[in-house]
Amino acid sequence: MDKGGKGNVGALLPTSLAEGWLERLTKFYLIPEGPFLSNWESLMVVLTLISCILITFMAAFHFLAPWAFIICFFIDFMFFLDIYIKFHVAYLQGGFWVVFPKEMALHYLGSLAFRFDVISNIPWDVIAIGWAGQPEESNRSALYVLALIRIAKLMRAIKIIVFFRRQEKKLHANFTVQILKFASYLITLEHSMACMWFAIACPKGKAESCYDPSWVNPSADTYILSTQLVENGEFVAGLPTLYIQSLYWTVTTMTTTGYGDVVPHNDAERAFGLFAMICGTLFHGYVSGTIASSLSNMDSRRVAYQQKMDAIRQYMTDRDMDIEMQERVLDYYDYMWERNKGIDVKNLFEDMPSTFRSEVALSLNNAIIDKATIFKGCSIGFRRHVAIAMRLYLFTANEFVIHKGDLGLEMYFITQGRIDVFSDDTTTATAVLMEGAHFGEFQIILNNRHEYSARAVCNTDIYVLLKNDLAAAFEAYPEDRKLVVTATEERYKQALASRKSRGVGAGGGGNGMGPTVRSTSELEEEFGMAGAAPDARCSNIPSMGGSRARKMSVVPSLFNRDSNRLSGLAQEGIRE
């Protein structure tokens, strides 16, 4: 047995014990919802839809083209192959996948799915093959009987319903599943109705079998309202025209009450018309209601967010808040909606086990951590601890990220946008930092104050690691602490040496960075990346309107439980 879970299983692969091509074809197992079975079931639904269309069309319109029969027999072969594959589908028992060939086969044999597959795939065609060896006049009759007998295979259409019901049970199913479901239902239903409408008028699919009067052969008193399709025992229109006329009546009757240009002319046609109108009303009503409900549920977050905005707006009005401040608050929440669509990201993964949540955090933030040279060689546990503590902040244009001389409480990782670094003069940038740069480690690890100021040139996304969170990671992983501190001290020495070589003072007190940094190696030593030219443009980040640029926290934390603790970054924003 394999333990329950997908992992790398789910593909059409033999067991590792298989020897030779025969065992490879017979000793394999498939995991439900694995990649192979998911694609295979989708393929079988498409083949079922094609089968339903061909079977009804061939029987109703006396369509006996050889290629149509070839396609039908190929689909039959695929359904028999589907039965063979289902004998090798694993099933869960006590939390484990049962993958033994005998047990899988017995499980399928005892299921309702096996009974349905056998009944829907019985080769009824064999019954009609005996008529094929007759004179040529009778051969077409035999083929027509063959086409009629194949109508029993229409029960395969139940597979379409079962497939989409199973897809809708998945919580991650999207609106596309609903669209595909209704499209499949609509095609199957209206095509079948069109074939039945024609078969009622012409039971054998030939002109001589058409009733008089009928919609293809109307009586004289209604001739003006209808199109004459049969004259002198022959169709005056081709097969495409006959099908389009039938489909036209079906669609207009099932969606409305028809236009009166194609009308029933006998009791059988009138009775079928009533049936078609009732089916159309029920089906299209169901489709419209389901789609409306789905669209309403898709917009539920917007409604909830709008209610929150109304409450905030009312509160600010009641407290007589300054108009400019009201605009800033409303613009903030507008941009919050643009970024996360009302999703409460800070509590999004709170119901996960802590170990799983840390793995999710690492998968999201691992690429960012990799770019920090001081974390090279750290253990996976330490990296998980750092990843789960990282927070995403957004700085808008012209807002300061740090100020020279401030106590460093955070380390910053730029993921999008541009940051200009200044020394004493805030008009000339001494360095330009783009995506991949990081800074602040000298301050939170070596307890230095910021020796420069940094300002966002455009909307910039920055991941922030708090000093307290890093200290907690150091306490949990003391060996990694030694690696990080040693790497930071080495980088700081290199930065100091680089500044001295340029004749620039340095020190924990913050004597400035001096002239513009031009050397690639200097930028790498100081900020972990090569930087960019002073005239480099920002990434294509949408700007936020408002009376003035401002700084905001877009995603406080995906994983941190202490959402009420203000970081030094937020405190700087309050002081400003």
Q: How would DSSP label each residue in 226-242?
A: S---EETTEESS-HHHH
Rounded to whole angstroms, how far apart are CA atoms 158 and 323?
Answer: 62
pLDDT of residue 514: 42
Read off the pTM.
0.59
- 250: Cα separation from own chain's centroid: 35
Which value, to the nearest 10 degrees, does the dihedral of the CA atoms of residues 325, 327, 333, 339 take? Answer: -120
Rounded to whole angstroms, how far apart are CA atoms 526 and 549?
Answer: 28
Report helix, strand or coil for 404: coil
Using an 8 Å Cβ cutoff, are 422 and 455 in contact? yes
Q: Which residues contact 260 (CB under 8 A, 6 or more apart)?
A: 225
Q: Which residue has the tokens 């003391």?
A: 478
Using an 8 Å Cβ cutoff, are 55 and 191 in contact? no
Rounded to whole angstroms, how far apart are CA atoms 343 and 336?
Answer: 9
Q: Mean pLDDT, consecutive 10-residue segments, the chain of 576 residues?
A: 44 51 78 87 95 93 89 93 92 82 92 92 72 52 79 92 87 78 93 93 84 78 60 80 92 81 87 92 87 74 84 91 84 73 72 83 86 87 89 78 88 88 76 85 87 83 89 91 90 80 51 44 57 54 42 38 34 34
Helix runs in 234-353, H state only: 239-255, 267-298, 300-318, 323-340
pLDDT of residue 504: 54
Taking the CA atoms of 448, 449, 453 and 455 in sequence, report the sign of the dihedral they define.
positive
Strands (E), 157-243: 230-231, 234-235
DSSP state of 319: T
Please give the C-alpha separations between residue 406 and each of 5, 414, 477, 569, in angstroms, as whole numbers.
50, 20, 28, 11
Rounded to whole angstroms, how far apart are CA atoms 554 and 339?
Answer: 7
Burial of 312 (0-12, 13-18, 19+ CB in 10 A): middle
3-state SS string over 531-571? CCCCCCCCCCCCCCCCCCCCEEEEECCCCCCCCCCCCHHHH
pLDDT of residue 187: 94
Rounded to whole angstroms, how far apart are CA atoms 250 and 77?
Answer: 32
Q: In which region does residue 531 sit, left (phi positive, over 0), alpha (psi from -120 to 50) or beta (all else)? A: left
Burial of 116 (0-12, 13-18, 19+ CB in 10 A): middle
